[in-house]
A and B are shown apart, each in its own frame.
Chain A
Amino acid sequence: MSERGLAGRLRAQLASWEGFLLLVVVLLVALNAVATPYFLTVQNQINLFQLSIEKIIVALVMTFVIINGEIDLSVASVMGLAACAFGWLFQQGMPAGLAVAVVLGIGILCGAFNAFFVVAVGLPSLVVTLATLIAFRGMARILVEDRGIGGFPDWFNRLGQQPLVGPFPMALLVFAVLAAVAFFVLQRTAFGRRVYFIGLSREVAAFSGVDVGRVKAAVFVASGLVAALAGLLYAARVGSVRGDVALGFELDIITIVLLGGVSIFGGVGTVTGTLLSILIVLNLRNGMALANITGHIQTGVLGVLLILSVMVPTIRGWAARLFGGGEAVR
């Protein structure tokens, strides 16, 4: 190893995309804290997460999908379908507890449907999930049409709207648990290793005896399941559902993941990167909102960051050529 010791490791960390993201997070938090004393209160931090909680939960599983070399555009529609199916089942008189279980099953089916066409039929996931984005959304609208369905049981709404443990609501706890699981599975297990290899080169993976189809199918099913869970959390938080629940969320979710340093070509990225990216997006939006900057400008700032994140390898290449000697790794 060329760089040993704490200083060297620190330098290497800071030179990585994650290091840069961490720097941005610290800067943003500092700026926000100085600008608004209210910013650093526990309640504001919880609110900040709560407002986007469903998106950031799905961003965790989207990290797997994109590192695996695929894309799942249908997640927001699955969220919408899950929320609407829950509302409709509840309206038909099904006990809410049972409806929750059925809806999670629907999420698995949605994921399996995507997986079938990507893995067994061999179609590109971009096309398959674009089609199911439309189809699942259509089903959601058919179930609920334009009216809202509400009046869910108290226990259900309370789970979404009130703190469960200390000041933390359930959705935030779910996010924390899922983040820990995602980190463990992707960065520490054989399954996660296979996800990376398939994303880097499915041929190399296949020639090494990896069951490429099974891994991909598992990732898509997980994506459907987590999206359905997020849809249920949305229903509980808002207390009612409509056909346009989570409409367009997929773009925000994918933006978060790519900003976190996950390569759209697959094989590169980490859960840590996605988590840092989540902190950046939330702090940026919150800080700019507190500073009375409009949503459109907020979106523009995110766009610039996203382009920067995609350009990281290019910028590194420039730097390597400029300063010479440095190995340009991809």
Chain B
Amino acid sequence: MAEPVLEMRGVSKSFGATDALKDVSLSLMAGEIHALVGENGAGKSTLIKAMTGIHRPSAGTILMDGREVAFRDSGAAQQAGVAAIYQEPMVFPDLSVAENIFISHRDRPQLIDWGRMNEEAAEIIARLGVRLDPRRAASELTLAEQQTVEIARAISLKVRVLIMDEPSASLSDHEVRRLFGIARALRDAGVAVLYISHRLEEIFALSDRVTVMRDGRHISTRPTAETTQAGLIAEMVGRDMAGRFARMPGQAREEVMLRVAGLGRAGAFADISFEVRAGEIVCLSGLVGARRTDVALALFGIAPADAGRIELAGQAVRIASPKDAMRLGIAYVSEDRRRLGLALGESIAANITLPALPRYTGALGRIDRLRELADAEGFARRLNIRAPGVTVPAGTLSGGNQQKVMLAKWLNMAPKVLIVDEPTRGIDIGAKAEVHALMRALAGQGVAILVISSDLPEVLSLADRVLVMREGRLAGEFPGETATDEAVMRLAVGAV
């Protein structure tokens, strides 16, 4: 076989104590479409970032044409011919198509020859087999057209390795077919295309070879023709069963705490119906982009549903704001700790008491500091939050301890329904076990718990029931005891 254009040899990348990539080796050949598959968190994104100079590998080497390279940043990678496009196109909305295509060129004269620029842009676009006026503003284009602009930009930089990260996730069928056409045109022109998708049917329709990653490791690389969907899924999820957390017996009670019927929000999700009983842990599983968080945001009143009904303990309720939700006893622990969960500059105590502040105020709205500190210290003990004290800024804690502060913040309002979004993402195994134990204890007290998690082992060990979402709809449901990795993944990727 020919020499690889880009080769990774034994590449590892760790962030603190977590290893995102472990000894990954991978070769991309000129003129091939190489698919990359794996669960959420398998290390695909980190791999791309290592290839494009956003992350520097902790160990291992990257070679181009057999020579070792170390990209300073993504600009350097682009100049060397490695470019990536993502699910959300990155274009400058107020610039024209042509300007967007040539934005990264640093070797051009300072004076712009508009006529020539538009001509060259038109030429590149034509090579992709697409019709697009180079003078149009990027903001007027559809998502798919913006993607085309990004690809054209890469081509104008003489791209040799083009990484497409979930490019089809927000496209219509027709647009996906056109994207495939572009990818094949690039392959035939000798570009190495790395194609990442959760949709297995696309992998089989498009790719020449397919690589599976799992838990930061390279599992296999084979010609696509020699694999099957079932085989790929088994490799994506096939993990050491001994490493799984032990299942605990369910504690669900009779009383249905939360019932959702036909819930929908235009453009996000539709026809979602399920119930969570007191003491039950229901997990909402699915791939990133399945719109699970949107369901949670509707239940918490951030982005209210526009169809369907919500019942709380048998009563139909209207939830138009977080305040409504909180009054009804619904708490939502966000997946985005830094942006939505905690004010990192404020103290641990202030973060914990914020949602329940009225409970701590006396005459003239004065906060009872002593009671506030006592409660915060109580949570710090109960949840084993390791901090020098509850008056230090939340931002000084480790991720796992911040996660516990966030849980404490919502437990402090004694919720009836607790929605937890990615409860253990990015925290170490010890903290993870503590968080799981805490959720079981809460269920034991009769709290109805809805967990959104992309971590399959977590789902399988926690859930009394597993709901699977796919592209904004419920794809199926399993009782916790009988759910398996393969079955859930099959529904999540929509395999037949």
Contacts and interface: CB of A to CB of B under 8 A. Distances in A.
Interface string A304-330: 000000000000000000000001011
Interface stretch (A41-49, A131-139, A192-200): A192-200
Interface in B350-374: 350, 354-355, 357-358, 360-361, 364-367
Nearest to B332: A207
28 contacts: A189-B365, A189-B366, A189-B367, A190-B360, A190-B361, A190-B367, A191-B365, A193-B350, A193-B357, A197-B343, A200-B346, A203-B339, A204-B340, A204-B343, A207-B300, A207-B322, A207-B332, A207-B341, A208-B322, A208-B409, A209-B321, A209-B325, A209-B355, A210-B354, A267-B345, A330-B344, A330-B345, A330-B395
Nearest to A266: B345
Nearest to B323: A209
Most chain B beta carbons < 10 A, residue from A2, A184, A201, A210: A201
Contacts of A203: 339-340
B323 A200 contact: no
Contacts of B355: 208-209
Interface in A5-61: none
A189 B364 contact: yes
B396 interface: yes
Interface of A: 1-2, 184-185, 188-191, 193-194, 196-197, 200-201, 203-211, 267-268, 327, 329-330
Contact of B345 (A191, A194, A205, A268): A268
Interface in B309-362: 321-323, 325-326, 332, 334, 339-346, 350, 354-355, 357-358, 360-361
B345 A200 contact: yes
Contacts of B323: 209, 211
Given A190-B357, A329-B395, A329-B396, A207 B334 contact: yes
Contact of B341 (A194, A204, A268, A329): A204
Contacts of A207: 300, 302, 322, 332, 334, 340-341
B389 interface: yes
Contacts of B396: 327, 329
Nearest to A267: B345
A206 B367 contact: no
Most chain A beta carbons < 10 A, residue from B341, B354, B355, B388: B354
A206 B346 contact: no
Contacts of A327: 396
A154 B396 CA distance: 59
Interface residues of B, number: 35
A268 B342 CA distance: 15
The 10 closest A-B pairs by CB, nearest first: A189-B365, A200-B343, A209-B322, A190-B357, A209-B326, A190-B361, A208-B354, A208-B355, A207-B340, A204-B343
Contacts of A205: 343, 354
Contacts of A330: 344-345, 393, 395
A197 B354 contact: yes
Contacts of B358: 190
A184 B388 CA distance: 28
Contacts of B409: 208
Interface string B395-431: 1100000000000010000000000000000000000
Given A197-B343, A208-B322, A189 B354 contact: no
Contact of A204 (B342, B360, B365): B342
Given A203-B340, A204-B340, A209-B323, A196 B346 contact: yes
Interface in B29-64: none
A324 to B, nearest CB: 16
Given A184-B364, A329-B395, 17 more contacts: A1-B391, A188-B366, A189-B361, A190-B357, A190-B365, A190-B367, A194-B357, A196-B343, A197-B343, A200-B346, A201-B339, A208-B355, A208-B409, A209-B325, A211-B323, A268-B345, A330-B393
Nearest to A204: B343
Contacts of B388: 1-2
A189 B365 CA distance: 5
B333 to A, nearest CB: 10
Contacts of B325: 209
A168 B307 CA distance: 64
Contacts of B357: 190, 193-194
Given A193-B354, A329-B395, A206 B345 contact: no
A128 B486 CA distance: 56
Interface string B195-239: 000000000000000000000000000000000000000000000
Contacts of A185: 365
Contacts of A191: 365
Contacts of A209: 321-323, 325-326, 355
B393 A188 contact: no
Contacts of A267: 343, 345-346
Contacts of B367: 188-190, 193
Nearest to A189: B365
B389 A1 contact: yes
B161 to A, nearest CB: 37
B100 to A, nearest CB: 27
Contacts of A211: 323
A329 B361 contact: no
A132 to B, nearest CB: 28
Contacts of A189: 361, 364-367
Contacts of A1: 388-389, 391
A267 to B, nearest CB: 6
B132 to A, nearest CB: 33
Nearest to B350: A193
A203 B326 CA distance: 16
Contacts of B339: 201, 203-204
A1 B388 CA distance: 5
Interface string B177-199: 00000000000000000000000
A209 to B, nearest CB: 4
A188 B357 CA distance: 12
Contacts of A196: 343, 346, 350
A201 B300 CA distance: 19
Most chain B beta carbons < 10 A, residue from A201, A205, A207, A267: A207
A294 B323 CA distance: 56
A206 B341 CA distance: 10
